Amino acid sequence: MLNSVKPTQGVISAEPEPIKLDWASTALLIIDMQRDFMEPGGFGETLGNDVSQLARAVKPIGALLKAARDTGMLVIHTREGHLPDLSDAPPAKVERGAPSLRIGDPGPMGRILIRGEAGHDIIPELYPLDSEVVIDKPGKGAFYATELTDVLEKYGIENLLVCGVTTEVCVNTTVREANDRGYRCVVISDGCASYFPEFHEMGLKMIKAQGGIFGWVTDSAAVLEALKISTPA
C-alpha cells in the first residue's frame, strides 16, 4: 500500500550544500511570470529583448506549482507593474533608455507594465488560483513597497523556494531583499530564466558563491524529489 502521509520535512540537494526544510514554513515564490516579460509586444520586447529566451522556465515552474498545490504549500505570485496614473513609477524608471514603447504607452497587450492590462497579467500556464497570494510590486524586489513581509509573517514562512524571471533582475533583487530579512532562499535554476543566458548563469553563481552568500541553488527535480513527488516526463 502507498504511504499517504505527507512528509513534514525534506532535504533538498542544493549548492553550496544540501538544505533541510520544514515544508509548513516554506512558500513557493514565483516572480513576474507575466505576459509583459514572456510574450512578444510586452515590456521585455520593447527593451529589445528576445522573449523566447524565457520560455524554458515555464515547464519546471509548472511542475513546482502543481507540487505546491498538491502538498498544500503556500504559493505566492508577484507581478511588476504600475498604477494607471503612473504615480508609483519613478521618472528615472519611465524615462530611461530608448525603448520602442515606454511604461504606460499603449501596446498590443494594453498599456505597457500597467496594472489591470492584459500584458501585466500572469501567463495562462501558471495562472494563480483564487486561493493563492498575488503581490503587485512597483520595483524589481518583491519586498519594496509591498505587503510581502506581512504575508510571510501571517503564514509563518521562513523559507522561500524562488523561481521566475528574470534571474539577474527581479529574482536576484528579491532574493537579496529576502536574505537580508532572514529568509532562507532556495533558487530553482531551471525555474528561472534571463534574456541573457550568461546573466542567468552568473546570477545563480552570485547567489550560491561564498558558502551561499544569498542562498542556495537547486533545480526543480531536486525539490520534487525532496517532496517525494515523481518528476513529470
Q: What angle, rounded to 10 degrees, do the helices at 172-180 and 197-212 form?
A: 20
Query: Among residues 45 and 224, whose Cβ is nearest to ligand C5J?
Result: 45
Is 136 an interacting residue with respect to ligand C5J (CB under 6 A)?
A: no
Are 215 and 167 in contact by the 8 Å Cβ rule? The answer is no
Is 192 a catalytic site residue? no
**Minimum gap (Å) between residue 65 Cβ and ligand C5J:** 18
Check if 163 is active-site: no
Residue 37 makes contact with ligand C5J by CB under 6 A: yes
- Each residue 47-86 as x (binds ligand C5J by CB under 6 A) or -, in order, gives ---------------------------------x------
User: What would the x/- binding string for ligand C5J be over residues 139 to 168, using CB under 6 A?
Assistant: -x------------------------xx--
**Residues touching ligand C5J, count (CB under 6 A):** 8
By CB under 6 A, residue 33 contacts ligand C5J: no
Cell (9 digits) for 15: 549548492
Q: In the complex, what is the shortest distance from the CB of residue 74 to ligand C5J, in angstroms, rounded to a whole number?
A: 21
Q: What is the CA radius of gyration of the chain?
A: 17
Kindly state whether residue 117 participates in binding ligand C5J, applying the rule CB under 6 A.
Answer: no
Q: Is 47 exposed, middle or buried (0-12, 13-18, 19+ CB in 10 A)?
A: middle
Catalytic option among 36, 140, 170, 208: 170
Torsion angle, CA of 207/208/209/212, rounded to 10 degrees? 100
| 228 annotated active-site | no
Q: Distances from the Cα of 221 to the Cαs of 16, 64, 191, 231, in angstroms?
A: 17, 9, 10, 6
- Residue 5 Rama label (left phi>0; alpha psi -120 to 50; beta): beta
* Percent of the chain as helix, strand, coil, to the nearest 5: 35, 25, 40
Task: Give residues 159-218 in contact with ligand C5J (rule: CB under 6 A).
Answer: 165-166, 169-170
Residues binding ligand C5J (CB under 6 A)? 32, 37, 80, 140, 165-166, 169-170
Residues labelled catalytic = 32, 137, 170
